[in-house]
Chain A
């Protein structure tokens, strides 16, 4: 019994330490990258294939709790235009909000999330390849992106859409590079409310480092909003047994009055 109690207390300490580590918002990104190195026994990535359901999974001990709501520990350098818009934003970060205290357009109006704001929903996404395009299906609100891989160039005068217009190509056997332009300026970049303009250009590099893991390098360029590109790396893990379900942002989604008295 005494040993059991000691084990329990030890476990409690370990759990607390683990929690503190995971919830801390500190940690150099270079260290994150090093800790994310694939294990030697991991199966190799297939060629030109990201098929499957993927879930965000930060490398253990990487101290990246900020990835619940923003891209980097430090904020981006914004233009004066963006600073004004950012001050109007009431964040929906980290769960410390109610629907009355945030003005996140996704949560309060069911606006489509945009890219890369879409990665801040704690739900999986799925890749489906076809000969001419790749579909990204996000569980959250049936969000679909169609990434053309038929060799067409990125449009120079795109219509302005919630999720933009995307073209993609493979670099090597296992990296899909996706360029997206043509966003309206109604969405946020993250859950803190960092703004973007219709000049936003997002580059996503999906590097399938082994069968079970994707490292996603995201670069946001927006000369009207960002002084310099904002970059990060997000981490995803394959979930072979999962299937996407329905999460529709409608009706009950906007009403938590009974639970937010």
Chain B
């Protein structure tokens, strides 16, 4: 426990520091940045493209219905420097995504924390 707390602090600090520059191309005005939402899903498509990497995944809601979600990350170049590749996620992978949800679409998210299929948190910052 003692070893994990500082890591959590570091990650949170990193998030706060880098969050502005990551909204580089189009802005974050479309997102509700005051609320963090977390969902578990199964990847259906992964597009490692400019200007922002896109994730598409299915989420089973409380009623057992399948919701189709889409989410974006930062630029692929930045993720490459953070250790990603176009093969980092593939359809069928289980993920847990936390982030800001679009003000006008409850199934569109800007991800700021992502747990990959092996249960490890994926780095979203090149620094």
Query: Min CB distance, A19 to chain B, in Å?
Result: 4
* Nearest chain A residue, comparing its CB with the CB of B75: A247
Query: Min CB distance, B3 to chain A, in Å?
Result: 10
A95-B28 contact given A14-B13, A248-B50, A259-B72, CB 8 Å threshold: yes
Q: Which residues of B contact A107 (CB under 8 A)?
A: 25-26
Query: Min CB distance, A103 to chain B, in Å?
Result: 13
Q: How far is the CA of A256 from the CA of B105 in the complex (A)?
A: 13
* Nearest chain A residue, comparing its CB with the CB of B77: A245
A123-B6 contact given A11-B12, A14-B13, A23-B20, CB 8 Å threshold: no
How many A residues have CB within 8 A of the partner chain?
Answer: 45
B37 within 8 A of A: no
Q: How large is the interface on B (under 10, 10 to 19, 20 to 34, 35 or more residues)?
A: 35 or more
A-B contact count (CB 8 A): 112
Query: Contact string, A51-95, partner B, CB cutoff 8 A, digits 1/0?
Result: 000010000000001001000000000000000000000001011
Contact between chains at B23 and A95 (CB < 8 Å): yes
Contact between chains at A253 and B25 (CB < 8 Å): yes
For the complex, would chain A's binding face be called helix, strand, loop or mixed by DSSP majority?
A: loop
A35 within 8 A of B: no
Q: Which residues of A contact B78 (CB under 8 A)?
A: 123
Query: Min CB distance, B126 to chain A, in Å?
Result: 8
Within 8 A of B (CB), among A16-38: 16, 18-19, 22-23
Contact surface of B with A, Cβ cutoff 8 Å = 1-2, 5-6, 8-9, 12-13, 16-17, 20-30, 49-52, 70, 72, 75-78, 80-81, 102, 104-105, 108, 126-127
